[in-house]
Amino acid sequence: MADIIKLLPDHVANQIAAGEVVQRPASVVKELLENAIDAGATSIKLIIKDGGKSLIQVVDNGIGMSATDARLSFERHATSKIQSAEDLFNLNTKGFRGEALASIAAIARVDLQTKTANEEIGTAIEIEGSEIKSQEVVATPQGTSLAVKHLFFNIPARRNFLKSDAVELRHITDEFHRVALAHPSIAFNYYNNGSELFNLPESNFRQRIVNIFGKKSNEKLVPVNEDTQVVKVSGFICKSEFAKKSRGEQYFFVNNRFIKSHYLHYAVLAAFEGLIKPGTHPGYFLNLEVDPSSIDINIHPTKTEVKFDDEQTLYAILRSTIKHSLGQFNVAPTLDFDHDSNLQTPYEYKNKNAVLPKVTVDSTFNPFAEETKPTTASNSPSASSSSFSSYKKPSPQSWESLYVETPNTEVKSTGFEGVSFESEVSAKSIFDDTEDDLDTSAITFQLKRKYIVTTIKSGMVVIDQGRAHQRVLYEKFLRTVTLNEGLSQQLLFPIQLSFSLAEIDILKDIKDNLTTMGFVFGQINENIVEINGIPPMVAEAEVDTIFDELMADCQQNVGADGFSQADILSKALCKSLAVKTGDVLDKLSQAALVNDLFACTESMVSPFNKPIYVTITENDIDKKFM
């Protein structure tokens, strides 16, 4: 039998490896930024075009590479980070496998220009699909400029799986945030299609957070600092009142490397237990410094997952550290049993002097004098002075005369013979007419403040009130956007909401559809959005929460399922505005919800493909008694 196992060519092996390293343009951005940081750069520029599909370029002022190193850097498993297997357990750099540049060069056109400080001229290399097209000397400043053009040009199937430019740009921005937050001592510039998105100067960690997420984020931050033999924890957590429905502002950094850890995330949630509403998530920016030999960062191709030797100890330390910070900065409520609140002077009275009360006495008052009938009003001093003594209490039975029905008597003639008076005032409820329009033959009642039970000819129906209201609102919003019939109520005082730059970009994309739904926008600055009008069904107090959930849904879902933007917005708004479990509905609201549900085009499933109601027939009930 002939031999059938053969070695793969290098370019095929590189394309296979690229499937693990390069998933989308954001993966290329991560690898190139980390290489620039490992090169000792103090200033890094990131240039993006068409969501990274046409161009991803990173320019740094690091140490650069020689001509030999520049050529060798595109070979597989060629790295300057490790020399032996033992170095894997003492890593202080970002990359170490030597697969990133080889994988990127296999699926794109790469232009490299680099120069070291000791050389007068640099090296320029052009690579296309792992094949080196040219190598020549060039005049270039110290550092490295690496441009990745036409990603996946030789793998059309992979390129077709990429999302829209806006979605890919958001993923790139997320990776940029992770790298920029981990290294506040490095200056970053971020350009997209010729316009500057971020200009981050060299700063400390708090200033870097504010520069990325806006000035409003400064008031949210609570410092965290703890140094132990196992781990050193530093950074910031957000105050409990700023907890959001989304998990956007949550960052863990281990030895200046961004990681994802569900275990440590639950440690933060445990520290906030009782301080935030259910279903909301606190924001945090936490740096963990541990011994490099106590972690393994080689368990995932993207190096975003880390295995700790002693996770339980880290969990306990992190939880107690955050609890200590919450109490130290008076974020968490505290009880002082030795404090007497009666002895505390209010702040507004702290600098005021005490004022003696003035007491007036009626010298003519005689408590033993007999009560006399009140005399006629007089201007004499005696009349006024005896006003207290002449007062007589009304009889306790006098109040009954107010409720005695007086007989109908003819109105005396006063010269207005043409004036007529109504003999009886109508006292009907204003809701009587509405109840007549509804189908009152079906009996409805609320079960456990979650379900609405109503009768039908064949039995009964149990309806989930939240999902039913979601379906009603969802179709109403879709109809509003389609027919452009949105109504709006103007606000007396505009509402100002604070967003990050990434959220501002999302808002600009969905602004037209939100305007159709009834939202009226004013000025949109770098971080502040002004809202002048809202739909009639939206309460003014809920606008902040609605936009918070709206941003979270748009970041997760836009472009992910192929649905239209209007569909995503309708789902997000109906989820925010629908009645929740625990809301009490009166009989009129129950009947209206049932009628509106069965008037929808699709009444069986919610907008999120979950069943809305179940039917229990008379036969099903009879079987229970057999």
In whole angstroms, give the CA distance from residue 118 to residue 271: 53
**3-class secondary structure, 270:** helix
Pairwise CA distance, residues 86 & 291, whole Å: 15
Q: What are phi and psi of 257, to 5 degrees?
A: -125, 125
Q: 611 forms bridges with which residues in the sheet? A: 605
Cα separations in angstroms, 415 against 410, 411, 412, 420, 605: 14, 11, 9, 12, 71
* Highest mean pLDDT: which range of 48-57, 206-215, 507-516: 48-57
What CA–CA distance (Å, rounded) separates 36 from 173?
Answer: 17
Residues 6+ positions from 276 with CB-CB distance below 8 Å? 240, 243, 282
Three-state SS sequence of 324-338:
HHHHHCCCCCCCCCC
List pLDDT tens digits, range 237-274: 998 888 887 777 889 998 888 888 888 889 999 999 88
Give every CB contact of residue 79 below 8 A, 6+ residues apart in sequence.
Answer: 95, 96, 97, 98
Tokens representing residue 340 in the block: 């007497």
Strand order in the sheet with 109-115: 131-138, 122-128, 109-115, 143-149, 55-60, 43-49, 187-192, 195-200
* Mean model confidence pLDDT for the chain: 79
Q: In the prediction, which pLDDT does 7 show?
A: 75
Class of domain 444-615: alpha beta
Q: What is the DSSP string of 471-531?
A: HHHHHHHHHHHHHT----EEEEEEEEEE--HHHHHHHHHHHHHHHHHT-EEEEE-SSEEEE
Q: What are the structural domain ranges in the chain?
A: 10-200, 206-328, 444-615
The predicted-structure confidence for 268-302, as pLDDT tens digits, reads as follows 999 998 888 887 888 999 999 988 877 776 655 56
Amino acid letter, 426: S
The DSSP H or E segment spanning 145 is strand 143-149
Structure-block tokens of residue 147: 């441009």
Superfamily holding 10-200:
Histidine kinase-like ATPase, C-terminal domain (3.30.565.10)
Phi/psi at 165 (5° precision): -60, -40
**β-strand pairing of 187-192 with 195-200:** antiparallel
| Residues in Cβ contact with 162 at an 8 Å cutoff, skipping those fewer than 6 apart | 24, 25, 51, 53, 152, 168
Coil/strand/helix, residue 313: helix
Residue 447 bridge partners (DSSP): 451
User: What is the rounded (10 degree) CA torsion for 458, 462, 463, 466?
Assistant: 180
Cα→Cα distances 253→198, 318, 428, Å: 21, 13, 67
Q: CA–CA separation, 516 vs 484, rounded Å?
A: 6
Interhelix angle 205-213/165-182, rounded to 10 degrees, is 160
Query: In which region does residue 279 sit, left (phi positive, over 0), alpha (psi from -120 to 50) or beta (all else)?
Result: left
The residue among 330 and 249 whose pLDDT is bigger is 249
CB atoms within 10 A of CB 58: 22
Share of the chain above pLDDT 90, in %: 22
Residue 401's H or E segment, with its range, is: none
Q: What is the CATH number of domain 206-328?
A: 3.30.230.10
The tens digit of pLDDT for each residue in 477-486 reads 888 877 776 7
- The kind and range of the H/E element at 129 are none
Predicted pLDDT at 181: 94
Whole-prediction pTM value?
A: 0.68
Task: Assess contact for 446 and 466: CB atoms under 8 A.
Answer: no
> From the centroid of its chain, how far is CA 563?
21
Residue range 50-65, pLDDT digits in tens: 999 999 999 999 999 9
Q: What is the pLDDT of residues 514-542, one digit of tens each?
A: 888 888 888 887 778 888 888 887 888 88
3-state class (DSSP) for residue 310? coil
